[in-house]
Amino acid sequence: MRERMVTMSRREIRRYEVISKAEEGYLTIREAAEMLCLSERQIKRMKRGVKLEGAEAFIHGNRGRKPVTSIKETVREEVVKRALLPEYEGVNDSHFRDLLEEREGIVLSRSSVRRIRRAAGILSSRKHRRVKRHLSRSRKAQAGLLVQMDGSPHDWLEGRGPRMCLVAIIDDASSKVLGATFRQEEDTEGYFIVLDQMVRRYGVPLAAYSDRHSIFLSPASERLSIEDELAGKTEPLTQVGRALEELGISHCKALSPQAKGRIERLWGTFQDRLVIEMRLAGVKNLDEANAFLPDYEEKHNKQFSVAPQEMETAFKKAPGKKVLTKILCRHEKRKASNGSTISYQGMTYHLVDTSKAVVPLVPKAQITLLLHRDGPIQASYRDKVYELRSLEVKRPEKQTTHGFQATPRKAHKPAADHPWRRTQINPNKREQKPQLASALS
């Protein structure tokens, strides 16, 4: 009795004292109910309990007993054992819970995993810095109204391979990753790849948000004066800017990382989880990383994407394959010569049609070269795409006026008494040459 009294809470002790007074007749049932803020029926039930069991009537029967749903010690030991393995180094609590379920078959809640790891002295790998307050922007109502694209240079392979840059596009309404690829560095081709992935899978969005990287914003655009703008001059487009314009996507350029917070938070999740997943999969180079990425992208979208406010999508229908291939490549401008040829990187080319016939070009007509990532160079002329055929240009040999081949001319050696030999070559030299001294004498 005394031991059970020690384990009672202050509220239980208070109830026991009041009910004891009511049992002894010092308090009526109504007075006891008013003091404990309970009903008279509850007071009568408590009086019966005290009469039969004493103070133990106020102690729950399961107090001090181990719950049936508690985690077994063998499971706790297994979790700690797995958490200390090298391949799970740096995994946060939430990600470790997912890996335990996928790879080990151990199903626990995130809070349970956290308690077990903390009890074993294993801290979280996430550094919780002071949160900076920014005015949050509401999500777009429909998928496809706005997408955000960016690149993240990072040591994705943890030293097992080269340092790479992950380029991705995310939907603002659903936080769904629409396209992603690894590149050696953040470049134009990387954005062409993810744009191609997005358009083929989902369609063309209405607007795209990016930073002010030179891939999106030409440095020459900052040199436009007010007079140039009033004269109707526009800023020159980069290759990606030109592709977005041809696809009909409005391009917005953020002034701060917080303005494109969706994709910035995506980098935090990827750098926390994708790095571990590729470590467990043994990924060691760029090709293996890109082969691993689609399955992980699908897994990530299933776990972290949200349903948009409106189910109707705002993505527009994708253009045809040929049109999309023509848009998502580098464009170089060239002028046609009088002989219906163009030059590129020291080579001369003819434009040929499907029948391999040479296409006649108007002199000084503008030709657009299409530099594909994984295909031959093509040319666009008058809204038609043609193949290129290299032309070997033979320069005529030099001939004399009589038609004979000119012989190579021998180097002329001046005579010993030539004026050039009597002139001082280096004026800073104090000593004069003997020829010059004899001439002066």
Q: How many helices (H) does the chain have, and how many strands (E)?
A: 14, 11
CA distances from 34 to 18, 20, 31, 39, 216 (A): 11, 15, 5, 8, 74
Kindly compute the dihedral angle of the four CA atoms of residues 377, 325, 180, 312, in this order, to the nearest 10 degrees: 170
What residues are paired with 286 via a beta bridge?
none
What integer pLDDT is reported at residue 4 of this predicted model? 43
> Residue 193: CB partners within 8 Å, gap ≥ 6?
167, 179, 181, 373
List the 347-352 sheet strands across, edge first: 330-335, 366-371, 378-381, 384-391, 347-352, 342-344
Which residues of the chain fall below pLDDT 70?
1-7, 61-62, 64, 68, 125-136, 220-235, 393-408, 422-441
pLDDT at position 413 = 79
CB neighbours of residue 170 within 10 Å: 26
Neighbours of 28 (CB within 10 A): 12
Q: Are 367 and 342 contacting, i.e. CB atoms less than 8 angstroms apart?
A: yes
Predicted local confidence at residue 64, as pLDDT: 67
pLDDT in tens, 185-203: 999 999 999 999 999 999 9
Give the model's pLDDT for residue 123: 79
Instruction: Provide the b/e sequence for 389-404 (b: ≥16 CB within 10 Å).
Output: eeeeeeeeeeeeeeee
Using CA atoms, how far residue 355 sits from 67, 358, 369, in Å, is 82, 9, 20
Residue 56 has what pLDDT?
79
pLDDT for res 437: 45
H helix or E strand, kind and range, residue 73: helix 73-83
0.85 surpassed by pTM: no
